[in-house]
Amino acid sequence: MFGFGQTPGRMLHAAAIVSITLIAQPSCRRTTTAPQHPVVAYKPDPLRDVRVLIVSDAPRVRLRADAGLHIVCDEDESAHELPGDDWYVVEPSKNSALRVVGQEWSGIECTVSADAESPISLSVFRKGDWALPDQYPGSIRITVDARRLDLINLVDAERYVAGVVAREIWPTFDTEAYRAQAIVARSFVLYEMMDRNHARYDVASTQGAQVYRGLRFDETGRRAAQAADYTRGVVVTAEQSGEERLVCTYYSAACGGMSQSAAIFGEANDIEPLRGGVGCDHCKIAPGKSYRWGPVRMKLSQVRSRLKARFSTMRSLRRIDSIDVTDRTPSGRPVRVRVTDTSGQSWELLAERFRLAIGGSTMRSTDCSIGVKGDHLVLKRGRGFGHGLGLCQWGMEGLARSGQPAGAIVRYYFPGANLTRVY
Ligand SMILES: [Zn+2]
């Protein structure tokens, strides 16, 4: 009835749901490892705003809105109304409090909001200049810490989902791919919201989580908003211990032939939807070096300096002698590698972390042959782009082009999962 395919998943009304809990998984990062978290109850009503970390460690920012800005200092609740059509600078003061439009405030935190229909334009000062502004719905919380600013956007979940789809999708993708992307983006963030209920923010706005830069007013933004609206409240769940639980919906650009297991993040208790092994040649339509790549060579001295820069435990790494794969998935994809130096010291690390340390565009996936030849790391027979766990975005587009609806696409990449409408 929602147009999600011939075999619709379980659709529930919010009122029918007592609670949805998280399936015990590590914190749902797309590109990093994290420890186990406890199971947390999901109460869909009322749904609070998503807290998105949109700027961190900025020296100063400026904001404006057509209808003016409303700024509240969180410490003493003093409020200021600033008229529209002008930029207002917020920066740390010498006393590590906030300076707003040249005036020192008593607190270290303020919240900026605008008229409901008027987005807030935000520009960050970096490298001696103001960056091009982005437009954010909702309100923005600004905090000063050690004379640097962090900004958190408090935004309605559906507007956030539309913003993520507009940045994570390729603009030319099929409408059903937009809808599938909306479902996995929503599931991902609701999982994060429940998982990080007491943390300062729910989700970062970079590739480590989901890319988000507020509203987008072009054709892609319009199609993304329609996809969010069409799939409103629908998330990916799986039954465990007699109840539906939210699934952490990882996704990456192209799996290269087969989806990977949650084991690539060092996760032992993988669940059926994240167990991997989904055959996919639908991503072979991906352009450039996404479906197949390599060979790639990198000087071992460069590999060494990148590993030392990324991992404090590897600071004593000397000249690299060998890099060996010590563990693989059943399909043969490297899970762990061991780096040994000429002094005989060795370190074992997850292949995915190794990949991101030396460069995710150089080593486009861990699904490749890894070897040392002379003074070079040599990567051959590369397959896919990204971690390959969960939904394959180019495969999603391939399936959409062949006429598959969004719901069938999502269930294809998360076997055994259901689609559940939680609000
Ligand atoms: Zn694929």
Q: For residue range 124-178, list pLDDT tens digits in order.
A: 999 999 999 999 999 999 999 888 999 999 999 999 999 999 999 999 999 999 9
CA distance 3 to 217: 26
Under 8 Å between Cβ of 418 and 244: yes
Predicted local distance difference test score (pLDDT) of residue 362: 95
Centre of ligand 1 to C-alpha 395, Å, is 4
Mean pLDDT of 54-73: 93
More confident residue, 30 or 162: 162
137 burial type by CB count under 10 A (0-12 exposed, 13-18 middle, 19+ buried): buried
Res 79 pLDDT > 90:
no
Contacts of 29 (CB under 8 A, 6+ apart): 208, 209, 265
- Residue 120, Cα to own-chain centre: how many angstroms? 23
Under 8 Å between Cβ of 4 and 413: no
Predicted local distance difference test score (pLDDT) of residue 194: 84
Res 423 pLDDT > 90:
no
Q: Kindly report which listed range (105-119, 200-214, 403-417) carries the lowest average pLDDT score.
A: 105-119
Q: Which residue type, as a one-letter code, is found at position 212?
A: Y
Res 99 pLDDT > 90:
no
Centre of ligand 1 to C-alpha 36, Å, is 28
Q: What percent of the chain has pLDDT over 90?
A: 68
Centre of ligand 1 to C-alpha 8, Å, is 23
Res 6 pLDDT > 80:
no
Centre of ligand 1 to C-alpha 128, Å, is 42
Band the pLDDT of 229: cuts 50, 70, 90. very high
The dihedral region occupied by 267, where left means phi > 0, alpha psi between -120 and 50, and beta the remainder, is: beta
Res 373 pLDDT > 70:
yes
Centre of ligand 1 to C-alpha 282, Å, is 6
Res 252 pLDDT > 80:
yes
Centre of ligand 1 to C-alpha 391, Å, is 8
Mean pLDDT of 334-341: 95
Question: Nearest CA to 33 among 309, 267, 204?
Answer: 267
Res 35 pLDDT > 50:
no
More confident residue, 40 or 283: 283
Query: DSSP secondary-structure letter at 26?
Result: B
Centre of ligand 1 to C-alpha 373, Å, is 30
Mean pLDDT of 395-404: 98
Number of helices and strands in the chain (H, E): 7, 29
Centre of ligand 1 to C-alpha 87, Å, is 45
Centre of ligand 1 to C-alpha 387, Å, is 11
